[in-house]
Amino acid sequence: MKQLFAFLLVLAAASAANGQGACTLTLAQAPAVDGLRLGMKAEEVVALFPGSRADKEVRAQLLNPANPVGVTGLTIKPERYASKAKFPRVSVITLTLLDGRVYTINVHYGGPEYKHVDEFLGKFLEGKKLPAAHAWEPYVGMDTQLKTLNCKGFELKVFAGGKNVHNINYVELTDVAARQRMRDRRAKIKARKSAQ
């Protein structure tokens, strides 16, 4: 029994030394992803892409009413607008908004090919005050392609597609409290429908 306890202590110490402890960063400390931040309004997003307001698809999305839980979506393809030079290799940006504020940012990059997600993650982490790549959790079964960082106020996923997924790489940033509010609302609506 003492040996098992000693082994568990050594394992816990090694985990802490490797930076595997909980990420305590708050929502206010969440990084920007290509100039996009959690909590932005749709108007602030389209302002980053001059000409996007005149885009028929974007305009339709902006006019689309929120669903019953307060969610709307917005997709931007930077190559269509004058600001495309500011977004090299970004193929598409998909945003989910709750009550008119961005709560999920998903940025897809068309290459380059990375052999391991840590190569892409290393590039993403440059200039950001985030834990190093070894502190991120690899996704079981996709250990070389997907890593996640779960913080107090946000969640980050970094995916490197490699040859298997045509060099598609993405970063996804989520406001965890907003996601929970959306899930709670969805559960209440479902419960009301079941009660009828």
- Digit-coded pLDDT (tens) for 21-78: 589 999 999 999 999 999 999 999 999 999 999 999 999 999 999 999 999 999 999 9
Alpha carbons 165 and 145: distance in angstroms, whole number: 10
Banded model confidence at residue 196, pLDDT cuts 50, 70, 90: confident
How much is the pLDDT for 167? 65
At which residue do the structure tokens 């999305």 appear?
Answer: 61
Helix (H/G/I), strand (E/B), else coil: 183? helix
Q: How far apart are the first and last CA of the chain?
A: 55
How much is the pLDDT for 82? 85
Residue 163 confidence (pLDDT) above 70: no
How much is the pLDDT for 69? 94
Alpha carbons 193 and 122: distance in angstroms, whole number: 47
Residue 10 confidence (pLDDT) above 90: no
pLDDT tens-digit readout, 117-158: 999 999 999 999 999 998 999 999 898 999 999 999 999 999
Alpha carbons 179 and 37: distance in angstroms, whole number: 15
Backbone torsions φ then ψ of 111, nearest 5 degrees? 95, 175
pLDDT tens-digit readout, 98-112: 999 999 999 999 878
Read off the pTM.
0.84
H-helix or E-strand spanning residue 155 = strand 154-160
**Domain positions in the chain:** 24-195
Sheet holding 168-175, edge to edge: 71-76, 90-98, 101-110, 168-175, 154-160, 146-150, 137-138
**Cβ neighbours, 10 Å, residue 96:** 18
Judge contact between 25 and 151, C-beta under 8 A. yes
